[in-house]
Structure 1
Amino acid sequence: MSAVPSDVSARHIVLIVDDVPDNLMLLHDALDAAGYTVLVATNGEDALRRVQQCPPDVILLDAVMPGMDGFAVARRLKGDSLTRPIPIVFMTGLTESEHVLAAFDAGGADYVTKPLRPPEVLARIAAHVANARQVAEARTALDAFGQGTVAVDADSGRMLWQTPLAGRLLERYFGAGDDHAPPRLAAWLRHAAAARAIGQEVAPLLLAGADRRLLATLHDPAARAAWLVVLREESDEGAIALLAGAFKLTRREAEVLYWISLGKTNRDIADILGMSPRTVNKHQEHIFGKLGVETRTAAAGVAVNKVHGR
């Protein structure tokens, strides 16, 4: 019965949600024969629990069920940034336009009509699995250079999507939250939007942790519908090693340059590194020579650009 190439279906999970046993059996057998891992739920509450336990790649969702109907289930899933990317294919015998529109309004990606035709369902599932995989790979690729990305709706402040790294960084620095941008991040975005509107530069948002910092920058300020925020975690040790390698500095010179880039005075740096201000001055002279600059401001600018990848 398989109408789906094994390279598309293999290892992918489909959740079927329907209160009619015959429909569950028909779809389970067809999807299982096509190589999918199949999960089933007979009501909306059970469906939400199964998604949390084992997120599927695609959900086949009955629109009309006792209790929580499919539209309510879809709205719950689309209201959570972790489950929002999962494509939902509605199953319905309601072909009137208002029901079709309701399915899409609730977050559905597609729909099939009853009585169900397994070949059609398999073709729809294969298409959505392939698309979801491409989207997931693209978002994971954004994390490859150590920078997480999150898209935030410009009007509501709701997080539209986030890469895996962005999700971890948001939780680490802001704690567990709801589906909206954390208050401090949202406030910074509003300030950034106001500043951009009058042509001003926007300083990155910097959050300090124990030995690391989170730097948030607005990647695409020209976007009207959504803000694209790039999150990057930095550490003192990593930045110092980067500066040492990039400019052929000694360890001490790299440390001095790093603290200069953070706006510390020579006396501050002496206290931090446990040396005399005079020794700091000597290191600073060597740094200026190796960087080809003449002032602390210029040295700091070179260091900031290197550390932040500009």
Structure 2
Amino acid sequence: MNPSIDIASALDRGNSDVVLIVDDVPDNLSVLHDALDESGYTVLIATSGEAALKRALQALPDVVLLDAMMPGMDGFEVARRLKAQAETAHIPIIFMTGLTETEHLVAALECGAVDYVTKPIKPKEVLARMGVHLAGARERRQTRNALDAFGYATITVRASDGALLWQTPLARELLLRYCGTQAPETPQEVVAWLQQCLSRLDQPGEPPRLTLERGAARLGFRLHQQIGDVDAQGDWLIVMREVSDTAVIEAIGLSFKLTPKEAEVLYWVVKGKTNKDIGDILGSSPMTVKKHLERVFVKLGVETRTAAAGMAMGRIRLLQPQFEI
């Protein structure tokens, strides 16, 4: 079992945001810990880069306050590794740095930080900066959870390299079932579709949608919005929804008194599939499909595929108006 599930679920996120402070200087930790604790945050601490990566994966904090300069693994490398892992890539990172040169501040933002504060640390400034980013993160989390509850799964994909940065539990299940992939790998067909969408952003109309079929079920993908830097390719929020025609097949069977297998065969005839196609889908030979179809013809009182499909389509439109061929 993944230890991050146990620790993350044990934290009281309903009443308190979780903050991970990463700093190797005890005085800095003490000042920030006390200020955040008094403000109602749940505070976790790490004193090295290695400990920060482990703690972040275990607890999945809502925000990370990260010291830039630490012995061993510095904050820049910690940020890069957090952003490279699908489980932690969504967590906002605020750098704490005494380096005020522009190149260092730019480096902090380039490796994934959303903001920075300069040392010596002023707790009120840190709280103000955190409040801005936590509000956005909290709103996105609530939106994603609500979408999941209504069957709309979401993922975030980084356009530059196609990495899957974030996914809801429902999205994880659907991608594994339809594509056999797990984060941070994004299915190749999804990456190719995203690049096609991005190449057409300057064209009028809605970006094209992607549909993956799995038997009588299909998984649709819709490009929702860009997250982060709008001047670059950026990260993109994609909404997925699974639609199943199982109810349609059952309705066909009941309407024409067909067996489950005969109803499936007629369903795929309506979809325009050949006997060979249907055999491949159902795991049967074309000859077996032909025999099922002959019995369907008898029960419907027709002699051709076209007539059977037309009769079935007419009945489906009455019973399942939302059905799409």
Both structures adopt the same fold (TM-score exceeding 0.5): yes
Name the residue aligned to 1:306. Answer: 322
Structure 1, residues 144-183: CA drift from partner, whole Å, max 9, x if none?
3323233444553233544442233223444454534233
* Offset of residue 297 of structure 1: 7.2
Corresponding position of 1:231: 240
Call closer, same or farther: CA 1:307–1:65 in 2, change over 3 Å.
Answer: farther
Ranges in structure 2 where 5+ consecutive residues have no aligned partner: 1-12, 280-286, 303-308
Deviation, structure 1 residue 300: 8.2
Q: Identical aligned pairs, as a percentage? A: 45
1:231-310 matched pairs, under 5 angstroms:
231-233=240-242, 239-241=245-247, 249=255, 252=258, 255=263, 258-263=267-272, 277-283=294-300, 294=310, 306-307=322-323
Per-residue deviation at 1:121?
1.7
Change over 3 Å in CA distance of 1:134–1:192 after alignment to 2: closer
Q: Partner residue of 1:116? A: 121
- 1:214–1:231: 8 Å Cα contact kept in structure 2? no
Partner Cα separation in structure 1 for residue 200 and residue 116 of structure 2: 43
2:100 to 95, 99, 104: 95
How many angstroms apart in 1 are the aligned matches of 2:14 and 2:310?
62
- Structure 1 residue identity aligned to 2:240: L
Deviations 1:11-50 (A, max 9, x none): 2111000000111111111111222111100011110001
Rounded Cα–Cα distance in structure 1 between residues aligned with 2:142 and 2:178: 25
The match for 1:3 is none
Distance in 1 (CA, whole Å) between partners of 2:198 and 2:259 is: 38
1:240 touches 1:258 (CA, 8 Å); kept in 2? no
Q: Following the alignment from structure 1 to structure 2, what is the Cα–Cα distance between the partners of residues 113 and 50?
A: 24
- When the two structures are superposed, what TM-score results if normalisation uses the length of structure 1? 0.71
C-alpha deviation, 1:102, in angstroms: 1.5
Structure 1 unaligned residues grouped into runs of 5+? 1-7, 286-292
Q: Any idea what SS the aligned residue of 2:100 has?
A: coil
Normalising by the residue count of structure 2, what TM-score does the alignment of the two structures yield? 0.68
- CA positional deviation for 1:103: 1.4
Q: Take 1:35 and 1:251, find their aligned partners in 2: how far apart are those partners?
A: 64
- The equivalent position to 1:183 in structure 2, one of 182, 188, 192, is 188
How much does 1:110 deviate? 1.4
Q: Tell me the distance in 2 between the aligned counterparts of 1:193 and 1:302.
A: 39
Match of 2:143, as an amino acid? A
Q: CA deviation at 1:54?
A: 0.9
The SS at the match of 1:99 is helix
Counterparts of 1:59-208 in structure 2, within 5 Å, are 59-159=64-164, 161-175=166-180, 177=182, 179-187=184-192, 204-206=210-212, 208=214
Distance 1:191 1:12, change over 3 A: closer
- The farther-off stretch of 262-271 and 8-17 is 262-271
Taking only aligned residues, the RMSD between alpha carbons, in angstroms, comes to 4.5
Q: Could you list the per-position Cα deviations for residues 53-85 of structure 1 after superposition, in whole angstroms to 9, with x for gaps in the alignment?
A: 110001111011011111111111112232121
Partner residue in 1 for 2:29: 24
Greater Cα offset, 27-36 or 177-186:
177-186
Partner of 1:35, secondary structure, is coil
Q: Deviations over 1:162-211 (max 9, x none)?
A: 444223322344445453423354356567889999x9x97854354xx8
The alpha carbon displacement at 1:10 in A equals 2.9
